[in-house]
A and B are shown apart, each in its own frame.
Chain A
Amino acid sequence: GDSVTQMEGPVTLSEEAFLTINCTYTATGYPSLFWYVQYPGEGLQLLLKATKADDKGSNKGFEATYRKETTSFHLEKGSVQVSDSAVYFCALSLNDYKLSFGAGTTVTVRA
């Protein structure tokens, strides 16, 4: 079935460090790919998305590129801040808009 695998956390970084969270997927069709973020005490929020191969999603300094050849959608940010501390979820969706999520990666940024 369709599934998403993302790197296990937790990840702890210092401010201004480079962040990468790996995400790979398995899908029978051509999915849309998403990164969601969950800040402490809040619901999941869409961070960015890409709907076809080679698309790059970006938001708040985060980027991810839809790589069909490697079935990946890795999340990157060049310089993290304390406010980026959260749980990040990679997800995919096919035509029925149902989301399949990865396990989530907890990121803690220290000042």
Chain B
Amino acid sequence: GAVVSQHPSRVICKSGTSVKIECRSLDFQATTMFWYRQFPKQSLMLMATSNEGSKATYEQGVEKDKFLINHASLTLSTLTVTSAHPEDSSFYICSARDLKGSTDTQYFGPGTRLTVL
């Protein structure tokens, strides 16, 4: 099936620094990607919708200046956590929407564990 990768899988950074997370669709083109955040033992929370070639759409309560999203190509979206603080520590997951054929399916990446010290 379709594969979505994320890089890095784990990252530890100091408070105040910025961290970039990449999400790639490996064998299909994705005009739309989604970024989620998951707290321990909790559900995935949608942060934003990333559309290729246009600005991301953020969910209510998500700071767009803190979580910068860029979808520069049909296979790559990036999430940059700017001026990270310990409360930003979380598991970040992306998904990519595949419209090929008669299906409309989202494929998820394996996630990135961010720890801010």
User: What residues make up the interface of A, taking CB atoms closer than 8 Å to B?
Assistant: 4, 36, 41-46, 89, 97-104
Contact = CB atoms under 8 A, between A and B. Distances in A.
Contacts of B78: none
Given A41-B110, A43-B93, A103-B42, A98 B105 contact: no
B contact face: mostly helix, strand, loop, or mixed? strand
27 contacts: A4-B43, A36-B108, A42-B110, A43-B4, A43-B108, A43-B111, A44-B44, A45-B108, A46-B105, A97-B32, A97-B97, A97-B104, A97-B106, A98-B34, A98-B49, A99-B34, A99-B44, A99-B46, A99-B95, A99-B106, A100-B46, A101-B43, A101-B44, A103-B41, A103-B42, A104-B41, A104-B42
Contacts of B108: 36, 43-45
A46 B42 contact: no
Nearest to B46: A98
Nearest to A9: B41
Interface of B: 1, 4, 32, 34, 41-44, 46, 49, 93, 95, 97, 104-111
B111 to A, nearest CB: 7
Nearest to B42: A103
B51 to A, nearest CB: 11
Closest 8 CB pairs of A and B: A44-B108, A43-B108, A43-B110, A101-B43, A103-B43, A101-B44, A43-B109, A98-B46
